[in-house]
Amino acid sequence: MQVNGWAWVRGFVEAAGHSQHSALSTKTDIQSVDDDKMLEMVNDTDLATFLYKTDVTSGETHRHIGLIIDDVHDVAQ
């Protein structure tokens, strides 16, 4: 593993490969998006605040915010 710059990892990291480039020179077929449609998608996203179980065990109280993927139930709840 090589990190050139800033990195913060707390917990598991799994990746088959990841690369992100913002430079125009790396892109083609660029199309504008409908800002209202994108905002609607964000507003329709279910976000939650939570504590990780390992944080609670170690006495951490910092709440996180993000998406929740139900990997416990046969039918997502």
* Neighbour-count burial for 35-70, b at 16+ CB within 10 Å, e otherwise: eeeeeeeeeeeeeeeeeeeebeeeeeeeeeeeeeee
Ranges of each domain in the chain: 31-77
State residue 42's pLDDT score: 87
39-60, pLDDT tens digit by residue?
999 899 888 999 999 999 999 9
What is the C-alpha separation between 14 and 19, in angstroms, rounded?
A: 14
- Tens place of pLDDT per residue across the chain (77 aa): 777 778 888 887 777 666 667 788 888 999 999 999 999 998 998 889 999 999 999 999 999 999 888 888 888 77
